[in-house]
Amino acid sequence: MKENPWDTPWKVKNEIMRFLLVPFLKILFWMNGIKWASGWKLNGMPIIQRHRLSTISIGNRMNLRSSAQSNPLSPNHPVVLSTRRKGAQIQIGEDFAMTGGTICADIRIEIGNHVTVGANSIIVDTDFHPISLESRLIEPNTGESCSVIIEDDVFIGANCTILKGVRLGKGCVIGAGSVVVQSIPCFTIAGGIPAKVIRGIDETKQ
């Protein structure tokens, strides 16, 4: 049965605001050297911090929710896309969805197709700051970095943190509130701090 749009008036408001914002969003992405692709839906204005000598590429049908009204989990800040250094890369495939949260690359963050990231989650490939006090005092922004790879069909729950060097295998699910510090195999459910595999996912029963 088709839903009556007036039963969810906040969705109507969100769609109107999204439509009105499109010209400003296209200017924002153009100014940051990011090609506007087909089928994008953006609620609210994301924050883009792109190093001029880095690259951010995103596939078709992206869905970003940056406004507090766009999701009942109410993002605590807009989506942030950040490349901090020369040569850094953020590469995102098709059908990507994210509510609030941050993707920040020092080296490379690669995200496959059909990936969903829950509200207020963080994906970073760097420690930002060195562990040793002596190094922090001399060069406070030179923490270790290592690429992050997120394969196709991954689902990341709300309020997760994905840290440097992690590879999330195809089809895996990361439980809400998890901190992922090591790679997770394909078609498994993982959760906790630090995240550990809980069980496999039987694809024949999907």
Residues marked as catalytic: 129
Distance CA 151, CA 110 (A): 8
Sheet holding 155-156, edge to edge: 41-43, 63-65, 97-99, 116-117, 155-156, 173-174, 188-191, 196-200
Sheet holding 148-150, edge to edge: 55-58, 89-92, 108-111, 148-150, 167-168
Provide the β-strand partners of residue 104: 82, 124
Report the phi/psi class of residue 39: left, alpha or beta, with left for phi > 0 and alpha for psi in -120 to 50: left
Q: Closest Cα partner for 116 from 135, 136, 95, 87?
A: 95
**CB 187, CB 169: distance < 8 Å:** yes
Distance CA 57, CA 59 (A): 7
